[in-house]
Structure 1
Amino acid sequence: MATRSRLQALQASRRQGIGRLLLLARRDFLARLGDLMGGPDETVLAARGRLLPYIDIEGTRSVDLARRLGVTKQAVGRLVKDLEEDGLLCRETDGADGRAFLVKFTDTGLDYLTRMHKCISQIERDYERMVGGERMEVVREVLMRISYGEDDAAH
């Protein structure tokens, strides 16, 4: 049986673990975004948020989306189909390779993305008020370094 001190140490470690902190921060972010977007609940936003950040504004091949997400092409196909039904995405034949498709934002999808980013800006301002401007800038720089690598952190 685990001792009380071992359980306390484990709890402290879990509380400070970066993975857990990122997951909890994401949950907070999605809840705030859902409130500001006026409708989509956290589950819908999580499903959309799983794919939308990986789609380039000019469109992205399904195979590249699968690689970026770390899932199968079939899984991407299901996500794209759902977002096509919502009117946010469409598939077009890739001019460079007639066998491939580009997943692109529709005009409705671009409007949705624009509205979403206005809400994201509000959330970022809220977080800045919570932690202060300097700390928020450090958070952004650290996340950019982790996400994009050392060379891209300054861009």
Structure 2
Amino acid sequence: MAVHDRSSCPINLAIELFGDRWTLLILRDVIFTDRRHFRELLRESEENITSSILADRLDRLVAAGVLTREGVATHKQKTVYSLTEKGVDLVPVLATIGQWGADHCAADPAKAAAARELEYRRPESWSGLMSELRARHSVVAGQVAGEPRRRP
């Protein structure tokens, strides 16, 4: 466990790496819009990321092995970022986040449609857990599920 990690929980470890807003947006841009140069990521992002935040997050992603950074032979100051296999494995994570946003947020209809194109079938294990959660967290007969039931 690295010094900055709060726990060895897999969800925590993933959030420590890519759980902030900027890192997810950078990954979105690299994966879905093929922006692979610092200048493209900086100037073409609708969210107006600052250069210092972009540089920091790219450094983190490279250090974590999610991206690689290579110089361009024809231009000494130009760098290209590429996904590693670890980075490619994030496609289902970002696609799922995008689908959730398309379904539950006031997203741009064209962008929501693009997110929905990546629709998937939920694994049975997810469906079972989701059903359990719906039952446990729903209001049942004026009572929040999960509270002790009063026996008549």
TM-score, length-scaled by structure 2: 0.47
- Which of the two has higher C-alpha Rg? 2
Relative to its length, the structure with more helix (as a share) is 1
* Greater RCO (CA < 8 Å, at least 6 residues apart): 1
Taking structure 1 as the reference length, the TM-score comes to: 0.46
